[in-house]
Amino acid sequence: MSILIHPFPPVADNDSEILILGSFPSVKSREDGFYYAHPRNRFWPMMEEIYAHPVSTREEKIELLRENHIALWDSIGECSIQGSADSAITDEKPNDIRSLIERTTIRKIITNGAKSFDVYMKYVYPDTNIIPIKLPSTSPANAQYSFQKLTMIWREALFGTTKS
């Protein structure tokens, strides 16, 4: 199995205050060149619901993130993976999240699922000392949470108090 390099940059600007970290782009996201492109992933419908901001294009998604001071990236910068499942990821190396934090006003980190959380804690937390909020994955593979329950949990994390 060959090593894959994360194929696209973070969505972030100097005003980003919240960083949402996935694990590594799915096959569909790698093909489309943007985050959460699988049609059954609930990330974008959930964000539309939380922020009452419909999005259909990549530009509208970026606008929603920027208007709400959210940066979006993945914990893993390179890895071996076959398919899209987090359980298939091996030989992971983290993205340079510390330098993203240093050039923004990020003060809250949310991980989208367990793999993202685990990679962040193992490789990145020692350099940032920002404890992430571990949230249930928006992946269609995570059928344990209904859309309504997932949206409620994510809304609370996004609008709750920030850790200093």
pLDDT of residue 162 exceeding 60, the answer is: no
CA dist., res. 103 & res. 61, Å (int): 22
Q: Note down the domain range covering 151.
A: 3-159
CA dist., res. 164 & res. 161, Å (int): 10
Q: What is the mean pLDDT of the chain?
A: 94
The reply to whether 164 falls in a domain is no
Q: Is 142 a catalytic residue?
A: no
Q: What is the dihedral of CA 15, 76, 97, 37, to 10 degrees?
A: 0
CATH of the domain at 137: 3.40.470.10
Query: How does pLDDT run across 96-120, given as a tens digit for each residue?
Result: 999 999 999 999 999 999 999 999 9
The reply to whether 32 falls in a domain is yes
The reply to whether 85 falls in a domain is yes
How high is the pLDDT of residue 164? 37
Percentage of the chain with pLDDT > 90?
89
Number of domains making up the chain: 1
- Mean pLDDT calculated for residue range 70-92: 93
Marked catalytic residue, from 41, 95, 112, 129:
41
